[in-house]
Amino acid sequence: MLLIFDLDGTLIDSRFDIAAACNAALVAIGKTALPVEKIATFVGDGAHQLMRRALGEDASDSLVAAALPVLTAYYLAHPVEHTRWLPGATEALETLAHDHTIALATNKGAPVAQAILRALGVIDRFASVIGGGELPLKPDPACIHAIAKQTGFTGDIADIWMIGDGPQDIGAGKAAGATTVAVLGGFHPEGRLRALRPDHLLASLGELGPLLAGLKAPPGTSPSQRFDVKIA
């Protein structure tokens, strides 16, 4: 099985480092810094959209273009000052890699994503890492198809699991025909994720291992009933 994880809001709580980089860019071009929780609502569609939303949707392309290099440079210099693992994330990466291929697909810029993974000491755990700027961003399924090719995956498409905290992840998974897993506790509210009808909805990544193990359970048991948050 091929397990593709999102990064921000799925494996890590990076909102404070994202906000610090965004605010560094805002201040550099003469704008006012924004609250962390406000910036957190802008996350999910890549650095360009993050910066545009922070500046206002009517911001000129030239203003966004001036701010982006500052954001990227700051983030590369301070990739994990405040970033923390989300519940169950390290355990999932450590244990699931024994039986499954682990990969990562994020809309965060590829250089920054790689800097974060290196700083956290986990980049070697992923058979493939695709970040923003390399392919069309999620919810486009291009990253899923590319990871399948890079890792030599030849199984059923349903044996590719796209795991994330946002509509971009669920949208990409559904577009590819993959199994979709939404994880609560990230950047997006529960109601929005439920409305997307993912195949599985988990309270944390700590439930992913038991869910996968439950797929091998004897007939008559239901992994979704035992480990998924009930989807009404």
Check if 199 is active-site.
no
**Residue matched to tokens 């909102």:** 15
Give Cα 99 to chain centroid, integer Å: 22
* Cβ–Cβ under 8 Å, residues 128 and 151: yes
The Cα-based distances of 167 to 42, 52, 74, 177, 227 in angstroms read: 13, 19, 27, 15, 21
Beta strand extents in 94-147 (DSSP E only): 101-109, 128-132
Q: Strand, coil or helix: what is 143?
A: helix
Catalytic annotation, pick one of 6, 13, 45, 199 = 6
Nearest of 59, 55, 88 to residue 163 by alpha carbon: 88
Catalytic site residues?
Answer: 6
